[in-house]
Structure 1
Amino acid sequence: MNGPRHIVLMAQYNAWMNAKLVEAAARLPAAEISRDRGAFFRSILGTLNHLMVGDTLWLRRFRTHPAGYATLDPVMALPVPSGLDERLYSDLPSLAIARQVLDAAITQWAVSVRACDLDHLLPYTSSAGKACARRFGDLIVHFFNHQTHHRGQATTLLTQAGVDVGVTDLVALIPDEA
Protein backbone atom coordinates (compact mmCIF):
# COMPACT_ATOMS: atom_id res chain seq x y z
CA MET A 1 0.00 0.00 0.00
CA ASN A 2 1.33 3.41 -0.99
CA GLY A 3 0.29 6.13 1.51
CA PRO A 4 -0.54 8.96 -0.90
CA ARG A 5 -2.11 6.59 -3.44
CA HIS A 6 -4.25 5.04 -0.70
CA ILE A 7 -5.37 8.49 0.47
CA VAL A 8 -6.51 9.35 -3.07
CA LEU A 9 -8.40 6.05 -3.33
CA MET A 10 -10.11 6.64 0.02
CA ALA A 11 -11.09 10.18 -1.05
CA GLN A 12 -12.63 8.77 -4.22
CA TYR A 13 -14.48 6.13 -2.21
CA ASN A 14 -15.65 8.80 0.23
CA ALA A 15 -17.13 10.99 -2.53
CA TRP A 16 -18.69 8.01 -4.31
CA MET A 17 -20.34 6.65 -1.17
CA ASN A 18 -21.55 10.04 0.05
CA ALA A 19 -23.20 10.66 -3.33
CA LYS A 20 -24.85 7.22 -3.13
CA LEU A 21 -26.15 7.90 0.40
CA VAL A 22 -27.57 11.30 -0.53
CA GLU A 23 -29.20 9.86 -3.65
CA ALA A 24 -30.68 6.98 -1.64
CA ALA A 25 -31.93 9.28 1.12
CA ALA A 26 -33.55 11.54 -1.49
CA ARG A 27 -35.90 8.66 -2.36
CA LEU A 28 -37.54 9.08 1.05
CA PRO A 29 -39.92 11.83 2.15
CA ALA A 30 -38.28 14.51 4.31
CA ALA A 31 -40.16 13.31 7.39
CA GLU A 32 -38.66 9.83 6.98
CA ILE A 33 -35.13 11.19 6.59
CA SER A 34 -35.53 13.14 9.85
CA ARG A 35 -37.45 10.44 11.76
CA ASP A 36 -35.83 9.26 14.99
CA ARG A 37 -34.86 5.66 14.29
CA GLY A 38 -33.09 5.05 17.60
CA ALA A 39 -29.63 5.36 16.08
CA PHE A 40 -26.75 7.08 17.85
CA PHE A 41 -27.39 10.28 15.89
CA ARG A 42 -31.11 9.52 15.88
CA SER A 43 -32.03 9.79 12.20
CA ILE A 44 -30.63 9.38 8.71
CA LEU A 45 -30.25 13.15 8.52
CA GLY A 46 -28.64 13.24 11.96
CA THR A 47 -26.10 10.62 10.91
CA LEU A 48 -25.33 12.42 7.65
CA ASN A 49 -24.94 15.65 9.62
CA HIS A 50 -22.51 13.95 12.00
CA LEU A 51 -20.40 12.95 9.00
CA MET A 52 -20.33 16.60 7.94
CA VAL A 53 -19.38 17.66 11.48
CA GLY A 54 -16.59 15.10 11.81
CA ASP A 55 -15.20 15.77 8.36
CA THR A 56 -15.27 19.53 8.90
CA LEU A 57 -13.52 19.33 12.28
CA TRP A 58 -10.79 17.02 11.01
CA LEU A 59 -10.20 18.94 7.80
CA ARG A 60 -9.93 22.21 9.72
CA ARG A 61 -7.24 20.51 11.83
CA PHE A 62 -5.52 19.14 8.73
CA ARG A 63 -5.37 22.68 7.32
CA THR A 64 -2.92 23.55 10.16
CA HIS A 65 -0.33 21.05 8.85
CA PRO A 66 2.91 22.81 7.82
CA ALA A 67 2.20 21.74 4.22
CA GLY A 68 -0.59 24.32 4.26
CA TYR A 69 -3.07 22.44 2.07
CA ALA A 70 -4.72 25.47 0.46
CA THR A 71 -7.10 22.98 -1.19
CA LEU A 72 -8.85 22.87 2.19
CA ASP A 73 -9.70 26.59 2.12
CA PRO A 74 -13.35 25.87 1.10
CA VAL A 75 -13.72 23.92 4.36
CA MET A 76 -12.75 27.00 6.32
CA ALA A 77 -15.83 28.76 4.88
CA LEU A 78 -18.24 26.07 6.16
CA PRO A 79 -20.03 26.49 9.50
CA VAL A 80 -17.80 25.54 12.46
CA PRO A 81 -19.49 22.75 14.40
CA SER A 82 -19.99 23.33 18.11
CA GLY A 83 -20.76 19.70 18.96
CA LEU A 84 -20.50 16.23 17.44
CA ASP A 85 -24.28 15.88 17.29
CA GLU A 86 -24.93 19.34 15.84
CA ARG A 87 -27.35 19.55 12.96
CA LEU A 88 -25.51 21.86 10.60
CA TYR A 89 -28.15 21.26 7.91
CA SER A 90 -31.85 20.97 8.62
CA ASP A 91 -32.76 19.33 5.32
CA LEU A 92 -31.23 16.95 2.79
CA PRO A 93 -30.96 19.42 -0.13
CA SER A 94 -28.83 21.89 1.85
CA LEU A 95 -26.72 19.06 3.28
CA ALA A 96 -26.25 17.61 -0.23
CA ILE A 97 -24.84 20.89 -1.55
CA ALA A 98 -22.43 21.24 1.37
CA ARG A 99 -21.47 17.56 1.04
CA GLN A 100 -20.45 18.10 -2.59
CA VAL A 101 -18.30 21.10 -1.61
CA LEU A 102 -16.67 19.12 1.18
CA ASP A 103 -16.07 16.03 -0.95
CA ALA A 104 -14.54 18.13 -3.74
CA ALA A 105 -12.17 19.70 -1.19
CA ILE A 106 -11.29 16.26 0.22
CA THR A 107 -10.57 14.91 -3.26
CA GLN A 108 -8.35 17.88 -4.16
CA TRP A 109 -6.59 17.75 -0.80
CA ALA A 110 -5.92 14.00 -1.11
CA VAL A 111 -3.97 14.53 -4.32
CA SER A 112 -1.76 17.10 -2.58
CA VAL A 113 -0.71 14.90 0.37
CA ARG A 114 2.88 13.75 0.02
CA ALA A 115 4.52 10.76 1.69
CA CYS A 116 6.85 13.08 3.60
CA ASP A 117 3.79 14.79 5.18
CA LEU A 118 2.53 11.62 6.87
CA ASP A 119 5.05 11.33 9.72
CA HIS A 120 4.48 14.87 10.98
CA LEU A 121 3.01 15.08 14.51
CA LEU A 122 -0.11 17.20 14.16
CA PRO A 123 -1.08 19.07 17.33
CA TYR A 124 -4.79 19.74 17.79
CA THR A 125 -7.45 20.11 20.43
CA SER A 126 -9.98 17.30 20.67
CA SER A 127 -13.72 17.91 20.77
CA ALA A 128 -13.49 17.32 24.51
CA GLY A 129 -10.94 20.15 24.82
CA LYS A 130 -7.88 17.93 25.31
CA ALA A 131 -4.56 18.91 23.73
CA CYS A 132 -3.30 16.11 21.49
CA ALA A 133 -0.51 15.46 18.98
CA ARG A 134 -0.70 12.45 16.71
CA ARG A 135 1.03 11.23 13.58
CA PHE A 136 -0.69 12.84 10.59
CA GLY A 137 -0.81 9.61 8.57
CA ASP A 138 -2.60 7.85 11.43
CA LEU A 139 -5.09 10.72 11.71
CA ILE A 140 -5.86 10.40 8.00
CA VAL A 141 -6.56 6.69 8.51
CA HIS A 142 -8.91 7.60 11.37
CA PHE A 143 -10.57 10.30 9.24
CA PHE A 144 -11.50 7.84 6.49
CA ASN A 145 -12.34 5.03 8.93
CA HIS A 146 -14.72 7.35 10.82
CA GLN A 147 -16.53 8.13 7.57
CA THR A 148 -16.83 4.45 6.66
CA HIS A 149 -18.13 3.58 10.13
CA HIS A 150 -20.92 6.15 10.10
CA ARG A 151 -21.80 5.58 6.45
CA GLY A 152 -22.37 1.96 7.45
CA GLN A 153 -24.83 3.18 10.07
CA ALA A 154 -26.56 5.41 7.51
CA THR A 155 -26.71 2.51 5.06
CA THR A 156 -28.36 0.34 7.72
CA LEU A 157 -30.92 3.06 8.50
CA LEU A 158 -31.71 3.47 4.81
CA THR A 159 -32.05 -0.29 4.37
CA GLN A 160 -34.41 -0.44 7.35
CA ALA A 161 -36.43 2.33 5.68
CA GLY A 162 -36.73 0.18 2.55
CA VAL A 163 -34.10 1.92 0.40
CA ASP A 164 -31.36 -0.13 -1.24
CA VAL A 165 -28.11 1.85 -1.41
CA GLY A 166 -26.55 -0.66 -3.81
CA VAL A 167 -22.93 -1.73 -3.91
CA THR A 168 -20.90 -0.19 -1.09
CA ASP A 169 -17.66 -2.15 -1.26
CA LEU A 170 -14.38 -0.30 -1.79
CA VAL A 171 -13.25 -3.08 -4.13
CA ALA A 172 -15.74 -1.74 -6.68
CA LEU A 173 -13.40 1.26 -7.15
CA ILE A 174 -10.10 -0.63 -7.20
CA PRO A 175 -9.01 -1.22 -10.80
CA ASP A 176 -8.87 -4.89 -11.80
CA GLU A 177 -5.41 -5.34 -13.18
CA ALA A 178 -5.80 -9.00 -14.19
Structure 2
Amino acid sequence: MTTVTGLFDDYQDASDAVSELEAIGVPRDDISIVANNSDNWYRQDETSEAGEDAAAGAGLGALVGGAGGLLTGLGIMAIPGVGPVVAAGWLAATAVGAVGGAVVGGAAGGIVGALTESGVSERDAHVYAEGVRRGGSLVTANVDDRLTGEAERILRGERSVNLDERRSAYESGGWTGFDATAEPYDDIEAERDRVRRTTPL
Protein backbone atom coordinates (compact mmCIF):
# COMPACT_ATOMS: atom_id res chain seq x y z
CA MET A 1 0.00 0.00 0.00
CA THR A 2 1.13 3.53 -0.81
CA THR A 3 -0.21 6.82 0.55
CA VAL A 4 -0.90 9.40 -2.17
CA THR A 5 -1.91 12.96 -1.28
CA GLY A 6 -3.08 15.99 -3.22
CA LEU A 7 -3.88 19.58 -2.23
CA PHE A 8 -6.56 21.51 -4.11
CA ASP A 9 -7.46 25.20 -3.98
CA ASP A 10 -11.03 24.43 -5.04
CA TYR A 11 -13.26 22.02 -3.11
CA GLN A 12 -15.03 20.86 -6.26
CA ASP A 13 -11.71 19.75 -7.76
CA ALA A 14 -10.99 17.78 -4.58
CA SER A 15 -14.47 16.25 -4.69
CA ASP A 16 -13.99 15.25 -8.34
CA ALA A 17 -10.65 13.66 -7.43
CA VAL A 18 -12.37 11.53 -4.76
CA SER A 19 -14.88 10.31 -7.34
CA GLU A 20 -12.08 9.47 -9.77
CA LEU A 21 -10.21 7.51 -7.10
CA GLU A 22 -13.33 5.47 -6.43
CA ALA A 23 -13.76 4.91 -10.17
CA ILE A 24 -10.31 3.31 -10.51
CA GLY A 25 -11.03 0.95 -7.62
CA VAL A 26 -9.75 2.66 -4.46
CA PRO A 27 -12.11 1.58 -1.63
CA ARG A 28 -14.06 4.35 0.09
CA ASP A 29 -12.60 3.55 3.49
CA ASP A 30 -9.10 4.16 2.11
CA ILE A 31 -9.91 7.75 1.04
CA SER A 32 -9.96 10.82 3.26
CA ILE A 33 -10.85 14.45 2.58
CA VAL A 34 -10.23 17.51 4.75
CA ALA A 35 -11.58 20.82 3.40
CA ASN A 36 -11.35 24.27 4.98
CA ASN A 37 -14.73 25.55 6.17
CA SER A 38 -13.79 29.03 7.45
CA ASP A 39 -16.51 30.64 5.32
CA ASN A 40 -19.19 28.16 6.53
CA TRP A 41 -19.97 26.92 3.01
CA TYR A 42 -21.04 23.62 4.57
CA ARG A 43 -23.34 23.66 7.60
CA GLN A 44 -24.05 20.41 9.36
CA ASP A 45 -27.00 21.76 11.33
CA GLU A 46 -29.23 22.53 8.37
CA THR A 47 -30.67 20.51 5.53
CA SER A 48 -30.31 22.19 2.18
CA GLU A 49 -29.57 21.30 -1.39
CA ALA A 50 -26.11 22.81 -0.99
CA GLY A 51 -25.39 20.63 2.03
CA GLU A 52 -26.73 17.54 0.31
CA ASP A 53 -24.72 18.33 -2.80
CA ALA A 54 -21.56 18.72 -0.71
CA ALA A 55 -22.10 15.34 0.92
CA ALA A 56 -22.94 13.65 -2.36
CA GLY A 57 -20.14 15.40 -4.21
CA ALA A 58 -17.53 14.14 -1.77
CA GLY A 59 -18.48 10.62 -2.80
CA LEU A 60 -17.78 9.39 0.71
CA GLY A 61 -20.94 9.25 2.81
CA ALA A 62 -20.28 7.50 6.11
CA LEU A 63 -16.86 5.91 6.25
CA VAL A 64 -15.07 3.54 8.55
CA GLY A 65 -11.53 4.77 9.01
CA GLY A 66 -8.87 5.86 11.44
CA ALA A 67 -7.51 4.06 14.46
CA GLY A 68 -9.80 1.42 15.92
CA GLY A 69 -12.22 1.49 12.99
CA LEU A 70 -13.73 4.85 13.89
CA LEU A 71 -16.93 5.74 12.08
CA THR A 72 -16.36 9.16 10.51
CA GLY A 73 -18.95 10.69 8.20
CA LEU A 74 -18.76 13.93 6.27
CA GLY A 75 -19.08 16.54 9.00
CA ILE A 76 -17.63 19.64 10.61
CA MET A 77 -14.62 19.23 12.89
CA ALA A 78 -11.97 21.52 14.33
CA ILE A 79 -8.27 20.86 13.78
CA PRO A 80 -5.71 22.79 15.86
CA GLY A 81 -4.13 25.58 13.83
CA VAL A 82 -6.47 24.97 10.89
CA GLY A 83 -9.85 25.75 12.41
CA PRO A 84 -13.21 24.44 11.15
CA VAL A 85 -13.02 21.85 8.39
CA VAL A 86 -15.43 19.61 6.54
CA ALA A 87 -13.86 16.19 6.81
CA ALA A 88 -14.39 12.49 6.35
CA GLY A 89 -12.24 9.38 6.49
CA TRP A 90 -9.31 7.91 8.34
CA LEU A 91 -7.00 10.95 8.11
CA ALA A 92 -9.66 13.24 9.57
CA ALA A 93 -10.29 10.86 12.47
CA THR A 94 -6.58 10.65 13.23
CA ALA A 95 -6.02 14.40 12.92
CA VAL A 96 -8.73 15.41 15.39
CA GLY A 97 -8.47 12.46 17.75
CA ALA A 98 -12.11 11.54 17.19
CA VAL A 99 -13.72 8.86 19.32
CA GLY A 100 -17.14 7.63 18.34
CA GLY A 101 -17.69 10.73 16.21
CA ALA A 102 -16.79 13.19 19.00
CA VAL A 103 -13.71 15.37 19.14
CA VAL A 104 -11.69 14.87 22.29
CA GLY A 105 -9.30 17.69 23.06
CA GLY A 106 -6.33 18.21 20.77
CA ALA A 107 -5.20 15.76 18.17
CA ALA A 108 -2.36 13.34 18.71
CA GLY A 109 0.05 15.29 16.53
CA GLY A 110 -2.73 17.06 14.65
CA ILE A 111 -2.88 17.10 10.88
CA VAL A 112 0.91 17.07 10.41
CA GLY A 113 1.24 14.07 12.72
CA ALA A 114 -1.58 12.23 10.95
CA LEU A 115 0.07 12.80 7.57
CA THR A 116 3.55 11.76 8.67
CA GLU A 117 2.16 8.63 10.33
CA SER A 118 0.64 7.71 6.97
CA GLY A 119 3.99 8.03 5.20
CA VAL A 120 4.03 11.66 4.01
CA SER A 121 7.36 13.42 4.63
CA GLU A 122 7.26 15.97 7.44
CA ARG A 123 8.42 18.70 5.06
CA ASP A 124 5.50 18.06 2.70
CA ALA A 125 3.04 17.53 5.57
CA HIS A 126 3.68 21.09 6.78
CA VAL A 127 2.81 22.50 3.34
CA TYR A 128 -0.33 20.37 3.06
CA ALA A 129 -1.50 21.47 6.53
CA GLU A 130 -0.79 25.13 5.77
CA GLY A 131 -2.66 24.76 2.48
CA VAL A 132 -5.80 23.62 4.30
CA ARG A 133 -5.34 26.39 6.86
CA ARG A 134 -5.32 28.93 4.02
CA GLY A 135 -8.52 27.69 2.43
CA GLY A 136 -7.58 24.52 0.56
CA SER A 137 -8.87 20.95 0.43
CA LEU A 138 -6.70 17.89 1.02
CA VAL A 139 -7.38 14.42 -0.37
CA THR A 140 -5.34 11.47 0.87
CA ALA A 141 -5.68 7.85 -0.19
CA ASN A 142 -4.07 4.57 0.77
CA VAL A 143 -3.82 2.75 -2.54
CA ASP A 144 -2.75 -0.66 -3.71
CA ASP A 145 0.67 -0.53 -5.37
CA ARG A 146 -0.83 -1.41 -8.75
CA LEU A 147 -3.02 1.72 -8.58
CA THR A 148 -0.31 4.12 -7.42
CA GLY A 149 0.41 5.58 -10.87
CA GLU A 150 -3.25 6.33 -11.59
CA ALA A 151 -3.81 7.74 -8.10
CA GLU A 152 -0.82 10.05 -8.47
CA ARG A 153 -2.15 11.24 -11.83
CA ILE A 154 -5.48 12.09 -10.17
CA LEU A 155 -4.11 13.73 -7.02
CA ARG A 156 -1.06 15.45 -8.50
CA GLY A 157 -2.41 16.51 -11.88
CA GLU A 158 -3.04 19.97 -13.27
CA ARG A 159 -6.07 20.66 -11.02
CA SER A 160 -4.01 20.16 -7.87
CA VAL A 161 -1.50 22.48 -6.22
CA ASN A 162 2.16 22.16 -7.24
CA LEU A 163 3.64 21.54 -3.80
CA ASP A 164 7.12 22.91 -4.53
CA GLU A 165 5.72 26.11 -6.01
CA ARG A 166 3.32 26.57 -3.11
CA ARG A 167 6.10 25.97 -0.57
CA SER A 168 8.20 28.65 -2.28
CA ALA A 169 5.26 31.07 -2.27
CA TYR A 170 4.70 30.55 1.45
CA GLU A 171 8.39 30.87 2.27
CA SER A 172 8.69 34.09 0.27
CA GLY A 173 6.22 35.58 2.75
CA GLY A 174 8.29 34.52 5.75
CA TRP A 175 6.55 31.20 6.46
CA THR A 176 8.76 28.55 8.08
CA GLY A 177 6.29 25.77 8.83
CA PHE A 178 2.77 24.94 9.95
CA ASP A 179 2.05 26.16 13.49
CA ALA A 180 -0.79 24.33 15.22
CA THR A 181 -0.93 27.07 17.87
CA ALA A 182 -1.42 29.88 15.35
CA GLU A 183 -4.78 31.53 14.79
CA PRO A 184 -6.66 29.87 11.91
CA TYR A 185 -7.26 31.92 8.76
CA ASP A 186 -10.76 33.31 8.36
CA ASP A 187 -12.41 33.47 4.95
CA ILE A 188 -11.22 37.04 4.33
CA GLU A 189 -7.58 36.18 5.08
CA ALA A 190 -7.82 33.06 2.90
CA GLU A 191 -9.14 35.14 -0.01
CA ARG A 192 -6.40 37.75 0.44
CA ASP A 193 -3.80 34.99 0.39
CA ARG A 194 -5.29 33.56 -2.81
CA VAL A 195 -5.23 36.98 -4.49
CA ARG A 196 -1.59 37.53 -3.47
CA ARG A 197 -0.59 34.18 -4.98
CA THR A 198 -2.45 34.67 -8.24
CA THR A 199 -1.73 38.35 -8.91
CA PRO A 200 1.32 38.86 -11.19
CA LEU A 201 4.09 41.01 -9.72
Is the pair's TM-score, using the shorter chain for normalization, greater than 0.5? no
Structure with max Cα Rg: 1
TM-score w.r.t. the length of structure 1 is 0.31
Q: Greater helix percent: which structure?
A: 1
Q: Which has the higher strand share?
A: 2
TM-score normalised by the chain length of structure 2? 0.29
